[in-house]
Structure 1
Amino acid sequence: MTVTVLDDRTALVLIDLQAGTLAAPTAPYPAAEVLARAVELAGAFRESGLPVVLVRMANSADGADATPGRSEAARLAGGARRPHDLGPVAEPLTGHDGDVLVVKRAWGAFHGTDLDLQLRRRGVTQIVLGGIATSLGVESTARAAHEHGYHLTFAVDAMTDISEEAHRHSVSRLFPMIGEPGTVEEITGLLNSRPVDATSG
């Protein structure tokens, strides 16, 4: 896995780094490590004058706008209902002028949101993805981004899953077919070697 290039207008899109997801058991990386790497990556993007997009999952309290369908996924272990709102985006990522906040109702960040519009208004042609969970929100967003024509890079150590097997499958099987998987270190290295874009916003 090696990241070879970042377009002049690349955005960082971080999926569901919220209180609810960060409190859950994750693999192969603990959520706290993923958050720390995401904060590092977001800082590098901001210093480079490139957009940072924070995506959060939230549905109405009555569940009326949740994705429909007959599925056991609507319940947690023990039969408890899933929370309608996973809470705010983690505080170390928030409070930065110019960041874009996208609220989604489904796994992927494109369906039913203005994410594509926000990216295209900023001239974005490439997306770097991270977040929780790799095989759910991140993969769903990646598939849609690929179909929308964006170049893709995956910060594989700034994402994690509820299952190590699911994470490994996405990283080793799907992601190399639609983009370049790599590490936060590789991505920040490329960012640091490019000129700062003062026109971001």
Structure 2
Amino acid sequence: MNHLKNGDRATTLDWSKTSLVVIDLQKWIGSSYAPYSAEMVIANAAKLAHHFRNKGAFVTFVRVSSKDFKDMPSPLLDSTPPKLNLIEGWDELVPELGVTETDHIITKKQWGAFHGTDLDLQLRRRNIDTIVLCGIASGIGVDTTAREAFQHGYQLVFAMDAMTGFTEAEHEHVRNVIFPRIGRIRTTEEILEEK
């Protein structure tokens, strides 16, 4: 067991009960993010994944995929959604993550990683009670998954420099308004310093 500082209080991070959950770091990633670049987020997520594996902790990668997009939400919108970068292999995880046989991969059809997947089941079967969350985008896939995890009763730690938004305002909103209400905010280095 290790301790993450939380003001004057220490909270315990137990590697046997903690999972890293990485959101949507796949080949469809574009180039316009803030405040961190996709490259920085991927590099920090890869460091975290390596660290978690070394600790024997559960590493989960979440990706979005569809064969024909008929299995995904298609809401009526007031504005046109951004064009996706659907290159060949768009739904594959980026190779920099170094996915191993011990990692668990979740395929989702919407923003959040819990609805319609076996994420909650797999975490509970392993007695996981804490999730370290990162990925793209802060205010969409990460935020939705965080809210779902909170509603399922998980403790949350946000690796804030291992995630980024489509805009800095999006990232700062969840960092300053949402995430402090449902979990603890840390840097990649602070998490890596955990023994």
| TM-score higher than 0.5 | yes
Contact residue 28 and residue 84 of structure 2 kept, 8 A: no
Cα RMSD for the two superposed structures: 2.0
Tell me, what secondary structure is at the counterpart of 1:64?
Answer: coil
In structure 2, what is the equivalent of residue 18 of structure 1? 26
4+ runs deviating over 3 angstroms: 1-5, 72-75, 80-86
The amino acid across from 1:69 in the alignment is: P
In structure 2, stretches of 5+ residues that fail to align are none
Cα deviation for residue 86 of structure 1 reads 3.7
Question: Alignment identity in percent?
Answer: 42
Quick check: 1:9 aligned with 2:17? yes
Cα deviation for residue 74 of structure 1 reads 6.0
1:91-110 aligned within 5 A: 91-110=95-114
For 2:168 and 2:34, locate their aligned partners in 1 and report how far apart those are by CA, in whole Å: 5
Tell me, what secondary structure is at the counterpart of 2:193?
Answer: helix
Cα deviation for residue 68 of structure 1 reads 2.8
Whose RCO is larger (CA < 8 A, sep 6+)? 1
Greater percentage in helix:
1
Tell me, what secondary structure is at the counterpart of 1:66?
Answer: coil
Aligned residues: 186
Distance 1:73 1:6, change over 3 A: farther
Quick check: 1:117 aligned with 2:125? no
Match of 1:27 among 29, 34, 46: 34
1:121-179 CA-partner distances (Å, limit 9, x unpaired): 11100000000000000000000000000000000000001110000000111000000
The amino acid across from 2:70 in the alignment is: A
Contact residue 33 and residue 165 of structure 2 kept, 8 A: yes
Cα deviation for residue 59 of structure 1 reads 2.0
Greater percentage in strand:
2
